[in-house]
């Protein structure tokens, strides 16, 4: 190596460094640019615009929205339809969280214990999850139809015509109809979460329990349940989000009816913003809902981040 | 348990059974076997409900969305996870936050945005929405998978003078193939099955994707022709069922790898 005077090398070195930095920057732009552009353009921007709209009385007909300050938010607190929608959404959420945490866990434990046909039976329970929302909604509408639905037809055939109900039209029953539809579609997914959790239970624990003569119930209570607690956290948050966002199933089945009985918050936003051209007010509703969801979202992000670390 | 499982999916069996019965037969008894196979129901799916064209459209839409996602999501994920970038941390959090936004929040402004851009009720709008909506989850899945790929290969390539884009394209992307396959399967399924987003973004009049078309058929009729409905439902569910049966292991793995929303 010939010795080069230091002073001569350094500017060149610096330039090389700068070129490398520019190249790296360009690479970042090429690699991340498209994703950031699409994401900011069609997710972040609408979210921000939504907040701006919420301060207006825009109906979508006029060219420019009219600024009304916080009037939309004041209206919200006296909006009985909104309050009813919140109540209904929370009711459904409560049922779903209960079912998707406890029911799915019990199913997973039973499935895990199977010796024969394990794969097939698991696949059967999972199957509804892959059907389109419109398909499962149509199947349930057929089951529940008052005049010609399968449930009532079979009840009448058995001579139990008196027990036939208008499952979708009766305000007292329709919340359970919606619940059954969502629960049926989602059960496979949630029990899969639990089954994956059960795979992490070390075999030695089961062997030790067998030696101690523990029955299936105490194996569940003492071994499986404690090992499943992280999954329960995940499942309950996901079920909570499913419940709070309940929306599509309403559109394809009851469309909020009978009356306004099955308006969820999500459906109310859709009803206002898409069906009734009250974009400004709809944005206010969605913004308030979003603010309420931030707590839940923060919890989810924390969970996801912990998961990301594990991965 | 087998009985319970079969009972659980019995609505699907009912649909298949009733798709080969005439309407009076269905109404008389949902569970009885038909006198003869009413194959004309299936013909009607294509002549009356006109599902053939929408099936092609839905397939193309799925392919387009998947193509966009598996191109731009892994690039971004790799760059965010493995390279030192200005604002990398902020971007990571921004994408992570996207996992938590419910669709209703952006629905109304998004429709306005499409209108301002002049692409309201078009396939392009739906494509833009599906891609942007899928990005956070795809990036999340890719990032998770990337943690299992050793860094040494990339470092060796960098020492050999490979630029970042060449490293990504020649080394990282091929290694991500298992993850890409998972994403192809899941998004193929979701976009095919999608009703709600297509219905809202493309409107029911112009939307020509399978489930919107089925919905249009439903709302055009005063009487529910269950025989045709079931035939349509069965036809549209066959592709996803085949996919599911063929890829069952990947499905379960993909789900538990953290793909949930």
Query: Chain A closest CA to B35's CA: distance in Å?
Result: 19
Q: How far apart are CA A192 and CA A232, in angstroms?
A: 12
Unique residue bearing structure tokens 């200005």:
B86
Residue appearing with tokens 């956290």: A233
Q: Is residue A297 part of a domain?
A: yes
Residue B67, both tokens: 């193509």
Residues A8 and A124 in one domain: no
Q: What is the pLDDT of residues A239-261, one digit of tens each?
A: 888 888 888 899 888 888 788 88
Residue B217 lies in a domain: yes
Answer yes or no: are the C-beta atoms of A73 and A57 closer than 8 Å: no
Verify that A183 and A132 share a domain, yes or no. yes
User: What separation in angstroms does the CA of A87 have from each of A80, A92, A184, A243, A261?
Assistant: 10, 9, 22, 12, 10
Q: Is A162 exposed, middle or buried (0-12, 13-18, 19+ CB in 10 A)?
A: exposed
Core vs surface per residue B82-111: b (16+ CB within 10 A) or e: bbebeebeebbebbbbbbbbbbbbbbbbbb
CB contact B179 to A (< 8 Å):
no
Q: Are residues A136 and A258 in the same domain?
A: yes
User: B108: which 2 tokens?
Assistant: 């109304």
Of A32, A139, A308, the CB nearest to B143: A308
Q: How far is CA B231 from each of CA A177, B12, B41, B178, B240, rounded to the nearest angstrom?
A: 24, 12, 6, 35, 15
Separation between Cα atoms, residue B15 and residue B94, nearest integer Å: 43
B46 found inside a domain:
yes
What local confidence, expressed as pLDDT, does residue A110 receive? 92
Q: Where are the alpha helices (DSSP H) in A215-256?
A: 216-219, 225-244, 248-252
Residues of chain A found within 8 Å of residue B226, distances taken between Cβ atoms: 142, 148
Is A53 a member of any domain? no
pLDDT at A310 over 60: no
Give ipTM to 2 decimals: 0.87
User: In this structure, how many other beta carbons lie within 10 angstroms of the beta carbon of residue B205?
Assistant: 9
Q: Is A215 helix (H, G, I), strand (E, B) or coil?
A: coil
- Report yes or no on B7 lying in a domain: no
Beta carbons within 10 angstroms of residue B178's beta carbon: 14
> For the segment A195-243, what is each residue's pLDDT rounded down to a tens digit?
988 888 888 888 888 898 888 888 888 888 888 887 887 888 888 888 8
Q: Is the pLDDT of residue A276 over 90?
A: no
Residue-wise pLDDT for B65-78, tens only, equals 999 999 999 999 99
Mutate to test the interface with B, among A24, A28, A128 (most CBs of B within 10 A): A28
For A126-149, write each residue's pLDDT tens digit: 999 999 999 999 999 988 888 778
Is there a single domain that holds both residue A121 and residue A175? yes
Q: Work out how many domains chain B is built from and give that number.
A: 1
Task: Name the closest residue on chain A to residue B260, using Cα atoms.
Answer: A238
Report chain B's C-alpha Rg in angstroms.
22
What is residue A67's DSSP assignment? B
Residue B171 lies in a domain: yes
Percent over 90 (pLDDT), chain A: 27
Q: Which of B27, B30, B256 shows the shortest C-beta gap to A196?
A: B256
Q: Residue B11: which residues within 8 A CB-CB, separation 6 or more?
A: A139, A140, A142, A143, A184
Q: Does B3 touch chain A (CB under 8 A)?
A: no
Domain span including residue A239: 78-310
User: Pick from A182, A177, A127: which is nearest to A152 by CA?
Assistant: A177
The CATH number of whichever domain residue A168 belongs to comes to 1.10.3720.10
Write down the pLDDT at residue B260.
Answer: 43
Alpha helices in B147-225 (DSSP H): 152-159, 164-167, 173-175, 177-193, 196-206, 210-220
Calculated CA dihedral for residues B83, B86, B89, B94, nearest 10 degrees: -110
| Phi, psi dihedral angles at A274 (to 5 degrees) | -100, -40
Query: Is A176 contained in some domain?
Result: yes
For B137, name the nearest residue in chain A, comparing CA atoms only. A304
Are A150 and B133 in contact (CB < 8 Å)? no
Q: How far is CA A112 from CA A19, A105, A215, in A?
A: 58, 10, 15
Whether residues B233 and A135 touch (CB distance < 8 A) is answered with: yes
Nearest-angstrom CA–CA distance, A155 and A149: 10
Q: Report how many helices (DSSP H) and strands (DSSP E) chain A contains, helices first.
A: 15, 0
Is the Cβ of B252 closer than 8 Å to some Cβ of chain A? Answer: yes
Residues A8 and A93 in one domain: no
The B residues from 107 to 166 touching A (CB cutoff 8 Å) are: 107-113, 128-129, 131-133, 135-136, 139-140, 143-145, 147-148, 163-165
pLDDT of residue A60: 67
Measured between CB atoms, does B2 come within 8 Å of chain A?
Answer: yes
Say yes or no for a CB contact (<8 Å) between A42 and B132.
yes
A22 burial via Cβ count (<10 Å: 0-12, 13-18, 19+)? exposed
| A311 vs B contacts (CB less than 8 Å) | 143-145, 147-148, 257-258
What gap in Å lies between CA A235 and CA A189, rounded to an integer?
10
Distance (Å, whole) CA B143 – CA B81: 7
Domains in chain A: how many in total? Answer: 2
pLDDT in tens, B13-60: 888 888 888 888 888 777 778 888 888 888 888 888 888 888 999 999
- Using an 8 Å Cβ cutoff, are A193 and B254 in contact? no
User: Based on the domain organization, do A167 and A40 belong to the same domain?
Assistant: no
> Above pLDDT 70, what percent of chain A?
91
- Classify residue A64: in a domain, yes or no: no
- For residues A23 and A94, membership in a common domain is answered with no
Beta strands in chain A (DSSP E): none
Whether A245 is covered by a domain: the verdict is yes
SS3 for B165?
helix
Residue B234 in any domain: the answer is yes
- The H-or-E segment that residue A62 falls in is none
Both A126 and A16 in one domain: the answer is no
Is B117 a member of any domain?
yes
**Residue A235 with chain B: CB contacts under 8 Å:** none
* CB-CB under 8 Å, A121 with B11: no
Same domain as A247, residue A302: yes
Q: Are residues A128 and A240 in the same domain?
A: yes
Is A154 in the same domain as A288? yes
Token representation of residue B137: 């989850």
Regions in chain B scoring below 50 on pLDDT: 259-261
Q: Residue B45 maps to which CATH number? A: 1.10.3720.10
The one-character DSSP state at B162 is -
Name the percent of chain B lying above pLDDT 70. Answer: 95
Q: Calculate how close chain A gets to B2, using CA atoms only, in Å.
A: 6
Burial (CB count <10 Å: 0-12, 13-18, 19+), residue B221: exposed
Q: Does B193 touch chain A (CB under 8 A)?
A: yes
CA distance B53 to B64: 17
State the smallest CA–CA distance between residue A253 and chain B in angstroms: 11
| B15 found inside a domain | no
- Note the pTM of the prediction, 2 decimals: 0.86
The whole-number pLDDT of residue B258 equals 52
Where would I find the H helices in chain B? 2-8, 10-18, 23-28, 40-47, 52-82, 88-98, 103-117, 123-146, 152-159, 164-167, 173-175, 177-193, 196-206, 210-220, 226-246, 248-256
Range of the domain at B225: 36-256
């Amino acid at each position: 190596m010939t010795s080069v005077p230091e002073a001569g090398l350094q500017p060149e070195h610096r330039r090389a460094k700068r070129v490398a930095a520019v190249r790296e920057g360009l690479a970042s732009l090429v690699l991340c640019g498209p994703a950031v552009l699409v994401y900011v353009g069609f997710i972040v921007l609408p979210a921000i615009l939504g907040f701006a709209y919420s301060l207006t009385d825009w109906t979508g007909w006029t060219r420019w929205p009219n600024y009304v300050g916080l009037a939309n938010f004041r209206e919200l607190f006296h909006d009985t339809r909104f309050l009813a929608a919140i109540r209904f959404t929370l009711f459904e959420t409560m049922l779903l969280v209960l079912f998707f945490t406890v029911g799915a866990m019990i199913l997973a434990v039973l499935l895990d214990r199977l010796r024969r046909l394990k794969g097939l039976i698991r696949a059967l329970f999972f199957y509804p999850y892959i059907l389109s929302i419109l398909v499962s909604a149509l199947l349930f509408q057929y089951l529940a139809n008052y005049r010609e639905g399968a449930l009532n037809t079979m009840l009448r055939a058995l001579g139990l015509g008196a027990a036939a109900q208008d499952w979708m039209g009766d305000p007292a029953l329709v919340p359970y109809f919606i619940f059954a539809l969502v629960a049926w579609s989602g059960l496979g997914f949630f029990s899969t979460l639990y089954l994956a959790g059960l795979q992490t239970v070390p075999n030695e624990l089961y062997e030790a329990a067998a030696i101690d003569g523990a029955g299936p119930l105490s194996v569940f209570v003492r071994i499986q349940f404690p090992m499943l607690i992280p999954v329960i956290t995940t499942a309950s948050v996901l079920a909570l989000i499913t419940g709070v966002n309940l929306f599509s199933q309403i559109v394809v089945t009851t469309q909020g009816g009978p009356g306004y009985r099955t308006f969820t918050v999500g459906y109310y936003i859709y009803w206002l913003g898409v069906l009734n051209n009250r974009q400004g007010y709809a944005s206010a509703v969605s913004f308030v809902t979003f603010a309420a969801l931030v707590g839940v979202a923060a919890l989810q992000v924390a969970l996801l981040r912990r998961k990301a670390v594990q991965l | 348990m087998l009985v319970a499982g079969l009972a659980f999916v019995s609505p699907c069996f009912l649909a298949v059974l009733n798709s080969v019965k005439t309407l009076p037969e269905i109404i008389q008894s949902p569970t009885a076997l038909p006198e003869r196979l009413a194959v004309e129901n299936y013909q009607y799916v294509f002549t009356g409900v006109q599902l053939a064209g929408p099936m092609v459209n839905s397939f193309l839409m799925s392919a387009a969305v998947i193509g966009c996602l598996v191109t731009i999501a892994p690039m971004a994920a790799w760059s965010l996870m493995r390279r030192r970038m200005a604002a990398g941390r902020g971007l990571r959090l921004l994408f992570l936050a996207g996992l938590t936004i419910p669709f209703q929040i952006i629905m109304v402004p998004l429709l306005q945005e499409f209108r301002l851009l002049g692409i309201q009720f078009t396939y392009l709008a739906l494509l833009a929405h599906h891609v942007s909506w899928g990005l956070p989850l795809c990036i999340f899945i890719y990032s998770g998978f990337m943690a299992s790929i050793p860094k040494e290969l990339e470092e060796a390539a960098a020492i050999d003078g490979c630029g970042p884009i060449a490293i990504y394209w020649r080394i990282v992307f091929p290694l991500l193939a298992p993850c890409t396959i998972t994403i192809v399967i899941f998004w193929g399924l979701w976009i095919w099955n999608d009703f709600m987003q297509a219905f809202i973004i493309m409107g029911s009049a112009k939307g020509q994707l399978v489930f919107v078309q089925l919905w249009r058929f439903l709302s055009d009729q005063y009487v529910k022709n269950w025989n045709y409905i079931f035939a349509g439902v069965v036809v549209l569910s066959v592709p996803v069922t085949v996919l599911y049966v063929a890829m069952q292991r990947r499905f379960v793995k993909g789900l538990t790898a953290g793909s949930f929303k």
